[in-house]
Chain A
Amino acid sequence: MNKEPLLEVKNLKTHFHTERGKLTAVNGVSFSMNTGDIIGIVGESGSGKSVMSQSIMRLLDHTDAIEYEGEVIFENQNLLSLPHSKLRAIRGDQISMIFQDPLTSLSPVYTIGNQIGEAIRLHQKKSKKEAHQQAIEILRMTGIPSPEIRVNEYPHQLSGGMQQRAMIAMALSCEPKLLIADEPTTALDVTIQAQILELIADLNRKMGMGVLFITHDLGVVSEICTGVKVMYLGQIVEEAPTEQLFQTPLHPYTQGLIQSIPKLEGDRDDELYVIEGTVPSLTDIPQGCGFSTRCPYADELCRTSEPPMQTAQTDHRVKCWHYEALNKQEGRETTVGTSS
């Protein structure tokens, strides 16, 4: 598959103006992805990953007091400066999104066929019948058994996994080039989770669709992503191809995250590794390196000045002053225990 550039995010910043002052939820994120990539965005709650994904689609526009900086280039257009009418034409047709909670992602008053059909008819000139037929085909593609029956059912008649499939069907109805998946498996149990992941990976292979996969579950990332970006306090602190990231994590935060995964083997009396403290509030972001308040290796330099993004290897970049020293000194290889 030949890869073409799909999405380029340049120094994206999202500010909220609140009573407590200006909060910067996304603070200078830059990355680019190609068609066919599945990029995982990983981070704790409050690291800005969801806000970033919503900023790409400008879903926060209706919240007053929001301000974007930087550029989001998609098909040679800067999405951040597009008028709403043009943005609407792109949403759903070119870029689509699936959400964390399938139980609230479908309107309770319409059948799923109606909703998928509506999504189709928003962008394609089709009769209601054709759209209905197409909805059945898409539902079949997402692996819903007997889609002819399901298409006429209401969301409450479907199980959580089925609803998520219907949601994915709706998002994919116009064959978008980019799918943003905002923790699509978090609310599902593990077996359904595996099926949904398989489905997304499968559709990615078949349709060459780029996927931006937002999650806090590293097991999921290791399962399907081609590349990973680790976010902390609205910044990308490390990015690498998936395997490399799990084999040689360079940033202390990434190392902490990987160590925090519970492992099946080993002594159960061993205490689980935790990263001390919590993500600082956006109202008091530490000086220097954002992670310095929780980092076990932080020193004076870290607390006073912000580290630049440094290239460790091709495709492997890390935002840490001491990554070289740290990783030489320990010389370890962290292996991954998948959590699922």
Chain B
Amino acid sequence: MATVQEKEYVAQVSKKLKKEQRALGYRRLKSNYGLLIGATIFVVLVILALIGPLFTNYGPYDMKVVDRLTPPGAEHWLGTDEFGRDLLTRLLYGARVSISVGLAVALLSSALGLVIGVYATYYKTLDHILMRICDGLIAIPGILLAIALMAALGASALNVIIALTIVFTPNIARVVRSAALVVREQTYIEAMHVQGASSTRIIWQHIVPNVLSPLLVQATFVFAEAIISEAALSFLGAGIPAPEASWGNILQASKLVIYKAWWMVVFPGATLVLSVLSLNLLGDGLRDLLDPRVKQKFRKR
């Protein structure tokens, strides 16, 4: 039986171990520049989208025809558009739309893709059915499929989310499936069978946690792609309907006045690039952090 002294010793050792682990994790995080830069830029963008609109003096739909196409200046920091709306305000509201659409698509398609992926690995017949459907969806170019779906569903933010989820779910399902196939053959899954665990328990308690890291990486990439795709759809007029602000909408409007108002192209384009770049950096960094093998390769170089 453990005496009081032993218990104290145990508590001490486990405390020390935890501290060491935390320090190690912190060091790994700190040496991962891509992750840090990506996360910082993205967090700044999210904060701007969330609280930025509170600090502007204009509403997103406030038109001032006299001031239309004003270049950037003290009054309008990023200039105004063809109806005299403040571009900065519209960009901030557009960030809300773009980021929330991206996030919703990333979450929904991750959840759906996860379920499809793990169940497909576990049940053979289901695998054939689901993967053929996914193959079919992947075969059609993503943006084309999204346009077709939008044409069928009608233009609205919700429908953009639905259409892009349908487009990106097969990609996630593939990634999850390939990771889950490896996990399924591991001895610890067999060991859980031996312990008498049910299929549902094995899938959700043991396969899912082991495929979460590739899923997380893929989800950040889908997040970025969804932002671009949403902008593309809006640019083509099949996405978020005007007058609601979205980066794609603003770009679409700007193409008519591209020679007269450079700011209407440059600023929404730059925010779009910045957000997608930061998400990609974040995704790359996460992959390096979660997959130690990739990291070692980098160190050796």
Contacts and interface: CB of A to CB of B under 8 A. Distances in A.
Interface size class of B (residues with CB under 8 A): 20 to 34
Nearest to A167: B191
Interface in A106-133: 106-110, 118-119, 122-123
A99 interface: yes
A64 interface: yes
Nearest to B189: A107
B209 interface: yes
Interface string A269-291: 00000000000000000000000
Chain A to chain B: the 9 pairs with minimum beta-carbon distance, closest first: A92-B195, A92-B196, A91-B196, A97-B194, A109-B209, A88-B196, A104-B187, A107-B188, A119-B195
Contact of A170 (B186, B195, B210): B195
Nearest to B209: A109
B194 A104 contact: no
Interface in B268-293: none
Given A148-B2, A149-B13, A149-B14, A104 B186 contact: yes
Nearest to A114: B205
A99 B10 contact: no
Contacts, number: 73
B196 A99 contact: no
Interface of A: 57, 59, 62, 64, 87-93, 96-97, 99-101, 104-110, 118-119, 122-123, 146, 148-149, 152-153, 167, 170-171
B191 A105 contact: yes
Contacts of B194: 57, 59, 91-92, 96-97, 171
B196 A148 contact: no
B10 A91 contact: no
Nearest to B10: A148
A93 B196 CA distance: 8
A90 B10 CA distance: 36
Contact of A59 (B10, B190, B201, B210): B190
Interface of B: 2, 7, 10, 13-14, 17, 122, 124, 186-188, 190-198, 201, 205-206, 209-210
B191 A170 contact: yes
B153 to A, nearest CB: 39
A149 B190 contact: no
B209 A59 contact: no
B210 A107 contact: yes
Given A109-B210, A146-B10, A118 B196 contact: no
A122 B14 contact: no
Contacts of B122: 62
Nearest to A104: B187
A146 B8 CA distance: 12
B187 A64 contact: no
Nearest to B123: A62
Given A99-B187, A104-B187, A105-B187, A122 B196 contact: yes
Nearest to B193: A59
Which of B122, B188, B192 is the most central at the interface, judged by chain A CB atoms within 10 Å of its CB? B188
A182 to B, nearest CB: 10
